[in-house]
């Protein structure tokens, strides 16, 4: 068995956890409150763990190494000096960042407390950056694990079977579905479900991260033309809003389920449909093609050109 697959099946204990109940607190109270002149639904719940305080200043943390990079943010493995605990620190460059979007992301992280949602500790400003301190899941993202596995197997062209085993895929999906059920019950849409936003610990805990693109069900943001999500994971109802300036409509929590379905395909094949295509073409194919499946995704016409293009 390849080393990265061992990360998932043995060290990750995912196969064993597939038989366990991973659902979080079932009691959730949903209320609507006014913030910054806009109406937003917020999740209120009884916390299932006692949350202790984390310090909120630069001097309290030490950056150890970079574990992830994005267009406007860098994620570090860090240490809280006062607590002597390892953590993840997301350093966001505020120069080109939508501050309203950032505030919404922080509110969502603060509110959501579930075993399958990334654990938020604190956040604070450091110069022109925002530091967001969260739990570190030491195996990294599912995408990182898959990339290591693909490399160990000799590259994608060397794949002769499904990338991940069915028990591992089922367990990951079960835990992410539990997290999605929690936020959907609270009327929150994640908006960017994908393998790089799924984090895994060595104990087999799977958590959904990155709530930057998230929107509340009651928010008018559901009809906006510019979604910060990733094109190849977008549901058709979001893709059409992106492509047609005259199109009106809104999407629902079902868009997250579509994205999770694409993620499931990716866990088998190694990559999502249209992953190597420009966003505009991907959005067009999502609208005009039938939903991808294991059968259609393996065909050259579907994968390379789009079935009806």
Residue 90 and residue 157 in one domain: no
Say which of 60, 98, 185, 192 is annotated catalytic.
192
Q: Which two tokens stand for residue 102?
A: 């950032």
What is the model's pLDDT at position 243? 67
Please confirm, yes or no, whether 192 is among the known catalytic residues. Answer: yes
What is the model's pLDDT at position 47? 39
Residue 125 and residue 146 in one domain: no
Residue 158 and residue 291 in one domain: yes
Q: Out of 118, 134, 150, pick the residue that ends a domain.
A: 134
Structural domain harbouring 226: 3-17+138-305
Q: How many domains does the chain have?
A: 2
The sign of the torsion formed by the CA atoms of 165, 298, 206, 73 equals positive
Is residue 140 classed as helix, strand or coil in its secondary structure? strand
Residue 158 and residue 271 in one domain: yes
Characterise 187 by phi-psi region: left (phi > 0), alpha (psi -120 to 50), beta (else). left
Residue 120 and residue 153 in one domain: no
Residue 168 lies in a domain: yes
Residue 17: closest CA among 182, 173, 185, 164: 173
Confidence of residue 245 (pLDDT cuts 50, 70, 90): low
Residue 26 lies in a domain: no
What is the tens place of the pLDDT at every residue in 162-220?
A: 789 999 999 999 999 999 999 999 999 999 999 999 999 999 999 999 988 888 776 65
**pTM score above 0.75:** yes
Q: How far is CA 291 from the centre of its chain?
A: 21
Q: Where are the beta strands (DSSP E) in the chain?
A: 28-35, 38-45, 61-69, 73-80, 85-93, 120-126, 129-134, 140-141, 188-189, 198-200, 206-208, 215-216
Residue 206 and residue 294 in one domain: yes
Residue 126 and residue 144 in one domain: no
CATH of the domain at 64: 3.30.200.20
What is the tens place of the pLDDT at every residue in 60-101?
A: 999 999 998 888 899 999 999 999 999 999 999 998 888 888
Q: Out of 108, 134, 160, pick the residue that ends a domain.
A: 134
Instruction: Name every residue whose Cβ is closer than 8 Å to that of residue 138 and which is 6 or more positions away in sequence.
Output: 201, 202
Is 141 exposed, middle or buried, given 0-12, 13-18 or 19+ CB atoms closer than 10 A? buried
């Amino acid at each position: 068995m390849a080393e990265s697959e061992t990360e998932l099946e043995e060290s990750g204990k995912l196969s064993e956890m597939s038989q366990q109940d991973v659902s979080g607190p079932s009691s959730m109270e949903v209320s609507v409150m006014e913030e910054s002149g806009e109406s937003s639904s917020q999740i209120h719940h009884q916390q299932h763990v006692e949350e202790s305080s984390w310090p909120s200043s630069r001097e309290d943390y030490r950056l150890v190494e970079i574990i992830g990079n994005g267009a406007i943010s860098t994620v570090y493995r860090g240490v809280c000096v006062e607590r002597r605990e390892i953590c993840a620190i997301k350093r966001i460059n505020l120069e080109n960042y939508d501050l309203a979007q950032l505030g919404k992301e922080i509110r969502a992280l603060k509110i959501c407390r579930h075993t399958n949602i990334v654990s938020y500790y604190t956040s604070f400003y450091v110069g022109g950056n925002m530091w967001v301190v969260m739990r570190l899941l030491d195996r990294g993202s599912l995408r990182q694990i898959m990339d290591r596995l693909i490399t160990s197997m000799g590259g994608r062209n060397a794949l002769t079977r499904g990338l991940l085993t069915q028990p591992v895929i089922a367990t990951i999906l079960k835990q992410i579905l539990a997290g999605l059920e929690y936020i959907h019950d609270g009327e929150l849409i994640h908006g960017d479900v994908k393998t790089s936003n799924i984090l895994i610990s060595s104990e087999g805990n799977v958590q959904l991260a990155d709530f930057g693109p998230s929107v509340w069900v009651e928010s008018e943001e559901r009809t906006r033309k510019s979604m910060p999500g990733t094109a190849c994971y977008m549901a058709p109802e979001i893709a059409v809003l992106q492509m047609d300036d005259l199109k009106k409509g809104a999407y629902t929590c079902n868009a997250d389920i579509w994205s999770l379905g694409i993620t499931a395909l990716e866990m088998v094949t190694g990559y999502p449909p249209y992953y190597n295509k420009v966003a505009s073409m991907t959005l067009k194919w999502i609208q005009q093609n039938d939903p991808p499946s294991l059968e259609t995704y393996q065909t050259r016409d579907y994968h390379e050109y789009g079935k009806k293009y």
